[in-house]
Amino acid sequence: MRKSINTILISMLLCSPVTFAFDSVRRVEPLNWWVGMSNPKLQIMVTAPGAKQSWALKRYDGVTLESVEFGDSPNYAFINLNISEKAKPGELELSSNDDKYRFYYTLSARAKGSADREGFSTKDVIYLITPDRFANGDEHNDSLPTMKEKADPTFRGGRHGGDLAGVITHLDYLQKLGVSQLWLTPALLNDMETYSYHGYSITDLYQVDPRMGDNSLYKTLSVEAKARGIGLIMDMVPNHIGSEHPWMNDLPTQDWINYKGQFVGTSHARQTVQDTHASEFDKKRFTDGWFVPTMPDMNQRVSFLGNYLTQNAIWWIEFADLSGFRVDTFPYSDKTFLQFWLKSILAEYPNFNIVGEEWTSEAGISAYWQKGHQNKDGYESYLPTMMDFSLQQALVKALNEEENWNTGWIHVYQSIAKDFQFADPNHLLIFGDNHDMSRIYTQLHQNVKNTKLAMTLLLTMRGIPQLYYGTEVLLDNGESDDHGDIRIDFPGGFKNQQANAFTGEGLSREQREMQLYTEKLLEIRNNYPALQNGGLIHFSPFDEMYAYARGDEHPILIILNKGNVQKTVDMNRFAEIIRGKVSATELLSGQKYELENVMIGAKSALLLAL
């Protein structure tokens, strides 16, 4: 029986580290599609020498070829199909007018309930991993002859060998820890000369980097994680590609890359998006400028590219059964494109969740992008979730500063008090650190007790908590703020390490204590809905303490003491929360408390279930 050309293409892309070519048809993207999608339109991008010509579709019930469009290069064709409701799974046959090219394109059946999938939510705790630095599950793919950069574990900016197999091997550890969502920094192909380990210079948007595994293994990761109650979040990068991407040698249109494909740096002046006085020059320089010369900035105003990026996102959701996206450098993309991209994805998956990175402590700038926010310029965003950099910075200041009326906990209080600016503050992603900043233990000057207080707040506060891998065992980048040191190897994930965080062997007493404390906090959060989606009332800081309550019917009162001495807490200030109750159970210790004057230890927390 004849095996379809595109089936072979997909099979080789899923299982092989090499790029497949057939009859000089270099690429057909998306790799396949599905019947029964909300949007019947599909634009297939064909890459082949001389592809700029007429194309025909052999008769297929329910599918019509509406048009073929072209850019500036003679080597691309954009075939516009309409896939109606009556179309069935099968293979489309498409051929070029000169009959030089012919390929078979697979239409698949969607998984049951795919459109109704639930995205990550306030019920979840996200665990962020830089896969090259987490665990090496397959040493055979560390260095490959087809890849430009080889493994160099001794170089902080080199590839250390972590991969998808390593993550899969340790899913039981993540399940035991208590996390319910997994966010990997990009695992797609980064065939760059140097610094390819971080994943943000993508050179193929449809292929997992073979040093990480392949598409099939990525799908296995999703399946195995889901079997343990863990969803998979993909890190999407619609703003830029890597300079070694094949497009850079043959741009589909002359304006495919901003500034005519030549490096002009971004200003990083994110406020220009909302600034009613901003010049057009400054607006363009922010969104169109490149981060670095090795990251060409894509011009999503080109309709072909906008369609390509949107279909690519939908393809990964459907193919890998994803529960969410984290969008890198969100505001740097064209904001009209972002509307189209988000609206298209959420039309297919109404309950899907997407979180955007807007690195600012200014709530007003961040709130601009969240779905439901009424913007003065009339711009309507469809982004459900934002990263809460304001709370992250406030938390570090609060725990590092001496307490006074305008220092210490007041930063956290004021950050939370700005929630009125957000359309939905419960859908803010809260975190102590991530892959782009010093580790929280480092930021808190290696103070274990303060790190515990930080984790307590993050796992009991409103929002969706995210932990960076190794926070639970006090990973530390010391005096260095080099990203290669921030993204340190996870203990036990690589050969010849003295400690193993997966088993607990070789960890210091403080590391093991922190690990168990994190597990306990996660257990409590997972067992008490009030900490997931309950209302929030907080109290102005007092006597080196910050307190807040979660939940309505059965509230939990959280009191955090950063002071160096034991304190007596006058519970009368919490009368509106206590409402006549006389006792509570402290969730960390299980101890019973009478709700009169409560004692709290130095640099410790109370979680009082009333």
Catalytically active residues, by annotation: 328, 357
Q: Is residue 529 classed as helix, strand or coil in its secondary structure?
A: helix
Answer for the pair 436, 392: CB distance below 8 angstroms, yes or no.
no
Task: Please tell me the distance from the alpha carbon of residue 544 to that of residue 546, in angstroms, as a whole number.
Answer: 7
Task: Please tell me the distance from the alpha carbon of residue 237 to that of residue 134, in angstroms, as a whole number.
Answer: 21
Cβ-proximal residues to 545 (8 Å cutoff; 6+ apart), any chain: 409, 559, 560, 561, 562, 563, 567, 569, 600
How many CB atoms neighbour CB 477 within 10 A?
21
Strand (E) or helix (H) holding 252: none
- Give whole-number Cα distances, 383 to 314, 330, 373, in Å: 15, 10, 10
**Which residues are registered as beta bridge partners of 336?**
none
- DSSP assignments along 129-175, one per residue: E-GGGT--S-GGGSS-TTSSSPB-TTSTTSB----HHHHHHTHHHHH
Answer for the pair 102, 93: CB distance below 8 angstroms, yes or no.
yes
Q: Is residue 403 classed as helix, strand or coil in its secondary structure?
A: coil
Q: What b/e string do you get for 513-534 counting C-beta neighbours within 10 Å, with b at 16 or more?
A: ebbebbebbbebbbebebbbeb
How many CB atoms neighbour CB 186 within 10 A?
23
